[in-house]
Amino acid sequence: MAFTLTVNGKVDTDCNVTEQEIRTSTPGRKSKELIIQLDDVIGIETNESEFSTSTNQSKTTKPKCLCKVHYIKRKKTVWKQETLSVTGQAEECQRFISQLQPNFKKVYDTRPKRLLVLVNPISGGRYGQSNSKKIVPLFELAGIACDVKVSDRAKHFIEMVSEYDFTTVDGIVVFGGDGSFSEVLGSLLRVTHEKAGLDYNDMNGPLTSNSVPIGIIPSGTGNGISVAQYGNYDTVTAALHIIKGNTRKIPLMAEYCEDELVGYATVVSAYGLFADMMYETDQKRWMRRARYIVMPIYSIFFKTQRLFEAEITLTGSQLCKPDDEEGKTKEETISGEFSMVAFFPAKVFGMTEGEVLVLIFRRTPSSHFFRLMLNMMKSEVVREEDFPTLTIRQPNSVRVKVNPKDLGENDFLNYLLNIDGEIHTMKKADLTVKSIPDAVNVFSSLHLYPYPDSQHSVSTTESTSPTGACAADT
């Protein structure tokens, strides 16, 4: 149905409303058309008091807004809130709203109505509180009620999640960084398994996905999970993804030691250098945010690398063993001294779902670490022939069995594990990492994970060099 209205100050604007979209056409020599999909409408505000007092707005006075349509405007992966302000004849505007609201209600009915909002006030630069004050009103504008809870101590999120009745909400939103998200997710998955009568410590048992979707508003130092879910670190973009209510499943890495779950990782996990570095960074809290720049530079460029002896066993169908049957599960063992073993969900780099991307570092020059990190940040291809001390594999599971060295007062370093930026202590230096596809239900409207416009960042199969991914280790 067509209407003639004043939209954003442009008089005699033609408006059409259908079940899918709002279409406006501005008159003039350079006619401009705007199309808003109803699925991108955030909310509709009406000036009821003006409708009840006036049927026709005077041309001699500044017209009052009768209706505001808040919607999503996209620029690549960044989403922003825009507003369509409607003035003019109250009767015509009323007919426009009467046509628009029933169509939008069909969209609104599919979206979350109530969210549990968990705020970490000390994450990153202490942005959790300020971001929540900015974003929660946006949720409310979209007609979403928020049960806001602020953590006041370490591991408080674990208590909140374990005690909460999730039948009362349609999702969880975390204001924090990767560590906060992992803490909430780990607690939620444990609760989900217990309610299903499953043992989450059984690495060979089934894993059930969380029924309550999770979203994150990036407010921490490390916000890799936000990039995976929304394509960037923008807080408004994250909120708008959650408002739309679309969900998808992302992979997970479950990590075990001594028949006990250590934790779940969605971005990265590491034993060795990165775990040591994260521990030392956490000890320098007096440096505030600067520690996240200073300590990595110190650890990589100025500190002698700590090497550990380990036997690394990889299992999976993607391991390059030409004599084996295609698709058959294969096993490979790599032994020696290493500075770090890092694990990523392979799908993060556009690889096969259900596998772990394993980067195995021997004594590695600082320049190689720096160049490797730059390549991965830019989503550029990483090949073994470019990094002689690096071994790349793509198994379904990996076991790292360490022969601990006597480190004196630093002996605890033998048992540290970095999971999504948080330090965990293992009972024994014996770690098993398993990839679990489609394990986590998250709010996201992205269809690719997470680099829609880039090539694969790590090459494990195309190397032609003797030091390539399929070559034997020396």
CATH number at residue 55: 2.30.29
pTM as predicted: 0.85
- Domain presence at residue 333: yes
Question: Cis omega (within 30 of 0) on the bond before 251?
Answer: no
Least confident of 52-56, 310-314, 440-444: 52-56
Q: Is the pLDDT of residue 67 over 80?
A: yes
Note whether 280 and 414 are same-domain residues: yes
- Quick check: is 451 in a domain? no
Tell me the pLDDT band of 157, cut-offs 50, 70 and 90.
very high
Q: According to the model, what pLDDT value does residue 293 have?
A: 82
Q: Would 15 be classed as within a structural domain?
A: yes
Contact 91, 5 (CB under 8 A): no
Residue-range definition of the domain harbouring residue 270 = 261-435
pLDDT score recorded for residue 395 = 92
Residue 124 confidence (pLDDT)? 67
pLDDT in tens, 301-354: 888 889 999 999 999 876 765 555 665 678 999 999 999 999 988 776 666 666
CB atoms within 10 A of CB 177: 26
Are residue 189 and residue 211 in the same domain, yes or no?
yes
Mean predicted confidence (pLDDT) in 19-26: 90
Inter-helix orientation angle 235-244/128-141, to 10°: 40
CATH (domain of 145): 3.40.50.10330
> Domain count of the chain?
3
Instruction: Let me know whether 192 and 227 are in one domain.
Output: yes
Token pair for 68: 């505001």
Q: What is the pLDDT of residue 467?
A: 33
- In this predicted structure, the answer to whether residue 261 has a pLDDT above a threshold of 90 is yes
pLDDT at 142 > cutoff 80: yes
| Whether 301 and 417 share a structural domain | yes
What pLDDT score was predicted for residue 465? Answer: 31
Residues 180 and 291 in one domain: no
Answer yes or no: is 227 within a domain. Answer: yes
Closest to 386 measured CA to CA, from 301, 460, 467? 467
- Rounded to whole angstroms, how far apart are CA atoms 277 and 369? 13
pLDDT band, very low/low/confident/very high, at 422 (cuts 50, 70, 90): confident
DSSP class per residue in 221-264: S--HHHHHHHSS--HHHHHHHHHHT-EEEEEEEEEESSSSEEEE
Quick one: pLDDT band at residue 289, thresholds 50, 70, 90?
confident
Q: pLDDT value at position 53?
A: 54
Work out the average pLDDT over 205-233: 88
Q: Is the pLDDT of residue 273 over 90?
A: yes
Q: Is residue 224 part of a domain?
A: yes
For the segment 211-228, the average pLDDT, to the nearest whole number, is 88
Cα separation, 420 vs 123, in Å, equals 14
pLDDT confidence of residue 320: 60
Nearest Cα residue to 253 out of 235, 234, 271, 241: 271
Structure tokens at 210: 């969380």
Q: Check whether 169 has a pLDDT greater than 50.
A: yes
State whether 414 and 283 are in the same domain. yes
Residues 6+ apart with CB under 8 A from 188: 161, 172, 210, 212, 214
Q: Poorest-confidence range of 187-196, 335-344, 354-363, 394-403?
A: 354-363
Hey, is 35 helix, strand or coil? strand
Domain presence at residue 31: yes
Same domain, 84 and 165: no
Task: Output the pLDDT for position 308.
Answer: 97
> Which pLDDT score, from 0 to 100, does residue 470 have?
39
**Closest listed residue to residue 317, CA positions, set 328, 325, 306:** 328
